[in-house]
Structure 1
Amino acid sequence: MFWKEGETNINDDPEQLASRGIDLQAVAQHTKTKEEKWFLFKLDLYLLTFGCLSQIIKYIDQQNIQTAYVSGMSEALNLTGNELNYFITYFNVGYALFLIPSQVMITRVRPSLWLPGLEFCWGVLTGAIAACKHPKQIYAIRAFIGICESSAYPGTVTLLMTWYTPLEMAKRIGFYHSCQAIGAMMSGALQTAIHESLEGKSGIPGWQWTFILNCVMTIAVAIIGPFMIPDFPDNPNPRAFWLKPRDKEIARERLDRFTRSSPNPINLKCALRTLKNPLLYMFIYMYVGMLIAPSGNSFFQLWLKSLVNKDGNKVWGISALNAIPMGGYAMQVAAVWIFAFGSDYFRTRWLMILAQVVIGFPPTVIMTIWNVPDGAKYFSYFALYFCTASGPPLWSWLSDMLPIDAEQRALIIGICISMYYAVNAWSNVLIWPTKQASHYKFGWPVSMALWITVAIVICSLRIYDLKVVRPRNYRIAQEMMNNHEGMIEEQPKTVEEIDQKLGDEQEDKQINTAKVLPVI
């Protein structure tokens, strides 16, 4: 799938270059030195490892409310209505409100202090749920947990976009993203182990032990964060003992090689620039749509709990209710790795996203019909886990389209995720009401419609990428290369300045050549 090595005139018409699938950002002739390989290994060992541990803990802490609900919490607190939906809703509200401010703060406060500090706070709050006696207490705590957790995923993705090159990025984001499913799997396994070994120990019910153990695990990960997060290449973390002076030089060289940059503090000018960018609205719809469309699998446990034998006995016990969905999470991990590695290997983002739409559509049709054998419903629930892997190719596509505007990338990520939680805060109760479990009359048709419209937006963005974004990025790459050749005195700082400087003047430019890779 790689472009045959050769020379390409980067002063050719940008639209013609785009139609040939040439990406000037990915220079094929570079070979990693031993120093760079060792640096990359350490980056994976510390930054990626911390991100993965934090993500696993984050999803254990998010899923514990559902596993506890079906493991004795609902009976202990006399929860008979939509309390589970409200637990999720209050979390989503806190998450949505603080996510964008957190993305702004991460460009102004060292991530090595900001991210672990908030993780420590949500760990303490998670433990506090064990002492709650009334659902209203849990509503308040869940809102504050959402506020603290809002920093973790977008903040870490922003760091990964800054430290890794386009040829390395999707795999790392994919590995990080897969830890969501690993965390969900561990939540079920942890609850099963607690039910079998700690239920009633010291007079404490198993569902309370869940929150106590989650609290201890979260705080432990938060403590090591300040030493494992390297901050940004232009302003590295002095507490990152593993980041040597030569590593910092290599990091800056890698940014220059792919015309990347560390984010500057996000300000009003950046916010206005982002709001004017059509990419923002396309990414919002794709991201939100591709998370809500398969979200019916979140209620897999409630459907399993509703199944009864002919004699009226439950088909599945508590241990099985927590164990069965782990198969779906394993499929989600596999899907994330397949689509993330495929995105980097085949140098295509949009096809990896569109493939998940194709996989996700049939299960929603089956569940909309509903009057089908239970085997078809099992298939549908499990299949939906395989199309929840859009994050890695989606964020990598964003990075490809905004290579030098790191602040706008960070802001778009924050806005997209914030919009998802804002929409999910009301849509979750509206289309997936607990009282309708396990047959959701509106949820599945809505999911089916979302898959169709998301497919249309993906194809539209693909056309916009070819016709508008890539030609602009080729002009930027040309200007950056001319700058390195000493042909201009001062490098423009923004996309707008570069476009203004270049204008429509393509004549009398020195011809530069570069060996390049295709992006499909």
Structure 2
Amino acid sequence: MTVSGPWKRFFPHLRTLPEDDHDFGSSEDTTSIEGEDQPILEVVHDDSKKSSIDSISPDTDTRKDVSLNGSLNELKKDLPYELRDEAGRKWYKCFDEYEYRLNKEYKESRKWYTFLYPNHATQSKAERRLLYKLDIIIAFYFLILNWSKSVDSNNYTSAYVSNMKEDLGMKGNDYIYTSTIANVGAIVFQLPFMYLLPRFPSHIVLPVMDLGWTWFTFACYRAKSLAELRAYRFILNAFGAAYYPMSQYIMGCWYAPDEISSRVCLFFCGQLLGGVTSGLLQARIFKSLDGVHGLAGWRWMFLIDSIAISLPTVILGFFLIPGIPSKCYSLFLSDEEIRIARARNRRNQINDGVDKSKLKPLWDLNLWKKVFCTPTFWVLVVFDTCSWNNMTAFSGSYTLWLKSNASYSIERVNNLSVLPACLGFIYVFFCAWGADLFRCKWIFMVFAAIMNTISCAILIKWDVSSGAKWFAFLTTYFSVAASPCLWSYINDFLRMDPQVKAITWIAIYSFSQSTYAWIPTLAWQTVEAPRFKTGYTVSIIFGVIYGLWTFVVLYFYKRNEKRLALQNGIILYDSRKGEEIPTFVRTDMKEKDGYFYVKHE
């Protein structure tokens, strides 16, 4: 795309490369890309290959185990294929998460200490430089964005215990009811993004939505009644409806399966940082600005949040969000880096986008069957729903427990309220980085569920020593520590079809969040403060299901990846069942250093 006028070069625009004569997002992409040190990947679509490959004996059953979207002729040049006999498979391999997702060459190409920047596809400095840039313009930006949103969300709790309750005449369950009304706004206005997400550039859509969020955060400072505050919070959350699924959609288009948990971790740390800074800022503002120019301290917080925190993220988003590799809008990525990003996606079987003309109408019945008539959708719905409803960390119970202690001043309550979130950073990094380091998400998810169960059990008992109670409250953030692993699973499950991915992300998130709109209303009623026995009981139930359901997700994940084994660079056969090495290995591939490569013409 040609950009005319000197001023336009300072704005993000669609980056088109010389080879962009066809859709890079399509699975039919055949372009070979030269990396810094070596050629990367090329998909073979040659009739001479088809004839021999299609002649595979049905006894090998390879075709059955290959793909959801592809066929056996979709072999890639320069990709090393592992030939694997299933006859020697050990029983404990069923717990090896990446057994069929990554082949042996891919796993061995990474040193353990380079897990954050594994540099698989090109083995070049350019690929690593790309990852450095992505961490700044994507991961770090979404950290800032999530921090901005989290500051405002936590502001509501901080403001409630900083005299907003008295100023607006809130009583009974008004606190939780107001939160529920706000959540409904987010749920309802997520649905249009099933259509918008795969069609319109994220560097425009997300900042525009962020601008609406900023404006109504500003409006909250002037609320004169509870009804007015509820209206503002409803509209505010409507503008924030899609930033969760949209951010995860974008991150899933740029990062490999063993890189993404660490990056989602940074996104999630923004939420924790919001919990920390909200309490500290509210404490400082209440002390310094309460009553200044006739405004209460909690009103000043909404003003400062909108102008000094949210508005800059609007501006940053327009320039930093790069879109997706096949439709890249970026001032900061070179043409070579865009090519490498596309090649990485082909290596990792990530289909990031398709041309608008190839998208099915949203009312196409077959499209909805593809979403709802697969077990993957329902497995992920249960998984995400349990994740949302076992989050004791965001219930506000700890802050209200502090508030119930008459010896604590408002300033001290706000200062102490940040302790669990501070420890939450450690928990989240432990789970997310551990998942990428050891290439094993499920074990960290189960561990987090166990810790959350212990925390809830102590708080259900309640009549325990002061030390035990503090331990329970300070470990509540294990209830959210495994969220980056959960979102990584969802991204990898949905990587094949961008339109199905967009609809499924929104559907899963909307369903899960809709349960979070009414379950807390019943479980975390403000009148039960500070004990919340019902709330902790509900959390422990969902937490136990969440831990056990992880094994169900692992089973379906591995089952899907086994079907996609050939596309993942693994050629399977089982000599115990009388299966032989597939014919195409002998006729169309050559062996080198223990791996098989497609023969070049």
TM value normalised by structure 1: 0.86
Q: Which of 334, 339, 351 is equivalent to 1:261?
A: 351
User: Residue 347 of structure 1: CA displacement?
Assistant: 0.5
After TM superposition, give the deviation of residue 15 of structure 1 in Å.
8.9
The equivalent position to 1:407 in structure 2, one of 495, 499, 512, is 499
Instruction: Report the Cα distance in structure 2 between the residues aligned to 1:124 and 1:505, rounded to whole angstroms.
Output: 65
Aligned residue in 2 for 1:22: 99
Q: Which amino acid aligns with 2:561?
A: R
Q: How far, CA to CA, are the matches of 1:463 and 1:246 in structure 2? A: 38
Q: In structure 1, which of residues 266, 284, 299 is the aligned counterpart of residue 397 of structure 2? A: 299
Tell me the residue number matched to 2:306. Answer: 215
Which of the residues 150, 167, 172 maps onto 1:81? Answer: 172
Q: Are residue 274 (structure 1) and residue 365 (structure 2) matched?
A: no
Cα contact 1:25–1:259 (8 A) shared by 2? no
Q: Are 1:452 and 2:544 matched, yes or no?
A: yes
- Which residue does 2:273 correspond to in 1? 182
Measured in 1, the distance between the counterparts of 2:163 and 2:460 equals 31
How much has 1:91 moved relative to structure 2? Answer: 1.3
**Cα-to-partner distance string for 1:9-63 (whole Å, 9 max, x where unaligned):** 1586899997576335462444531112222212112122221111100101111
AA aligned to 1:111 is S
Structure-2 separation of matches of 1:452 and 1:425: 21
Q: Mark the CA change 1:9 to 1:384 in structure 2 (over 3 Å): closer, same or farther.
A: same
Q: Alpha-carbon deviations, 1:464-504, whole Å to 9, x = none? A: 333x222212144369x9xxxxxxxxxxxxxxxxxxxxxx9
- Post-superposition Cα deviations, 1:205-249, rounded to whole Å, max 9, x if no partner, equal 111001111111211210121110000111111xx2112222221
Question: What residue is the counterpart of 1:227 in the other structure?
Answer: 319
Q: Counterparts of 1:395 and 1:168 in 2: how far apart (Å)?
A: 12
Aligned residue pairs total: 480
Cα distance in 1, alignment partners of residues 407 and 171 from structure 2: 21
Pick from 333, 337, 340: which aligns with 1:247? 337
DSSP-derived class of the 1:263 partner: coil
Q: Secondary structure at the match of 1:142?
A: helix
One-letter amino acid of the structure 1 residue matched with residue 82 of structure 2: T
Task: Decide whether aligned partners of structure 1 residues 464 and 78 sit closer, same or farther in structure 2, where only a CA change above 3 A counts.
Answer: same
> Per the alignment, in what secondary structure is the counterpart of residue 9 of structure 1?
strand
Q: Answer yes or no: is the 8 Å Cα contact 2:424–2:478 preserved in 1.
A: yes
Sort the Cα spacing of 1:509 and 1:403 in 2 relative to 1 into closer, same or farther, 3 A: farther
Q: Which amino acid aligns with 2:190?
A: L
CA–CA separation in structure 1 for the residues paired with 2:194 and 2:236: 17
Structure 2: distance between partners of 1:401 and 1:16: 25
| CA drift at 1:404 | 2.3
The offset of 1:362, in angstroms, is 1.2
Does the Cα contact within 8 Å between 1:163 and 1:232 map onto a contact in 2? yes
* Corresponding residue number in structure 2 for 1:117: 208
Q: Secondary structure at the match of 1:439?
A: coil
Q: Of the candidates 384, 392, 397, which is equivalent to residue 287 of structure 1?
A: 384
Per residue, is there more helix in 1 or in 2? Answer: 1
Provide, for residues 390-439 of structure 1, a one-character-per-residue CA deviation record: whole Å limited to 9, x for no partner.
Answer: 22111222333444234333333322322232111111111111111112
1:509 paired to 2:584: yes
Q: How far is the alpha carbon of 1:71 from its aligned partner?
A: 0.5
Q: How much has 1:305 moved relative to structure 2?
A: 0.8
Check whether the contact 1:86–1:139 (CA below 8 A) recurs between aligned residues. no
Q: How far apart in 2 are the matches of 1:122 and 1:515?
A: 52
User: 1:280 Cα deviation (Å)?
Assistant: 1.8
Once the two structures are TM-superposed, the CA of residue 8 in structure 1 deviates from its matched residue by 3.0
- Letter aligned with residue 251 of structure 1: A
Contact 2:262 2:432 in 1 (8 A): yes
- Give the residue type in structure 2 aligned to 1:184: G
Q: How big is the shift at 1:82?
A: 1.6
Q: CA deviation at 1:325?
A: 2.2
- The whole-number CA distance in structure 2 between the counterparts of 1:103 and 1:61 is 26
User: Within 2, Cα distance between the matches of 1:505 and 1:263?
Assistant: 37
1:24 & 1:371 partners in 2: Cα distance? 48
> What is the alpha-carbon distance in structure 2 between the residues aligned to residue 179 and residue 188 of structure 1?
14
Contact 1:185/1:330, CA 8 A, preserved across alignment: yes
- The CA deviation string for residues 251-303 of structure 1, in whole angstroms up to 9 with x for no partner, is 11111111111134574444321212212222222222123223265221111
Residue 179 of structure 1 contacts residue 333 of structure 1 at CA under 8 Å; is this kept in 2?
no
Distance 2:226 2:130 in 1: 49
Amino acid at match of 2:487: W
Please state how far the C-alpha of 1:505 moved relative to its aligned partner.
Answer: 12
The aligned runs of 1:91-490 (5 Å cut-off) are 91-216=182-307, 217-237=309-329, 240-264=330-354, 265=359, 267=362, 268=364, 269-295=366-392, 297-307=395-405, 314-466=406-558, 468-477=559-568
Does the 8 Å CA contact 2:81/2:569 hold for their aligned counterparts?
no
Q: Aligned partners of 1:236 and 1:337: how far apart in 2?
A: 29
Distance in 1 (alpha carbons) for counterparts of 2:213 and 2:286: 24
Cα distance, 1:126 vs. partner?
0.7
- Give how far 1:507 is off: 4.8
The alignment partner of 2:440 has SS state of: coil
Are the counterparts in 2 of residues 11 and 509 from structure 1 also a CA contact under 8 Å? no
Residue 28 of structure 2 corresponds to none
Tell which deviates more after alignment, 393-402 or 61-70.
393-402
CA 1:215–1:361: 2 relative to 1, 3 Å: same
Q: Which deviates more, 255-264 or 207-216?
A: 255-264
Is the 8 Å Cα contact of residues 331 and 386 (structure 1) preserved in structure 2? Answer: no
Secondary structure of the 1:291 match is helix
Give how far 1:159 is off: 0.7
- The answer for unaligned runs of 5 or more in structure 2 is 1-79, 110-119, 572-578, 597-601
Check 1:198–1:258 CA distance in 2 against 1; reply closer, same or farther (3 A cut). same
Q: Distance in 2 between matches of 1:156 and 1:364?
A: 31
Instruction: Output the CA distance in 1 between the equivalents of 2:454 and 2:243.
Output: 33
The percent identity for this pair of structures is 24
Mapped to 2, the partners of 1:455 and 1:38 lie a distance apart of: 37
* Structure 1 counterpart SS, 2:479: coil
- Secondary structure of the residue that 2:475 maps to in structure 1? helix
Note the C-alpha offset of 1:7.
Answer: 7.4
| 3-state SS in 1 of match to 2:189 | helix
Contact 1:332 1:387 in 2 (8 A): no
Q: 1:15 to 1:103 in 2, by over 3 A?
A: farther
Provide closer, same or farther for how the CA distance between residues 319 and 378 of structure 1 changes in structure 2, counting only shifts above 3 A: same
Amino acid at match of 1:116: P
CA distance in 2, matches of 1:373, 1:61: 34
User: Cα offset for 1:457?
Assistant: 1.4
- The structure number with the bigger radius of gyration is 2
Deviation at 1:343, TM superposition (A): 0.5
Structure 2 residue corresponding to 1:47, chosen from 133, 138, 161: 138
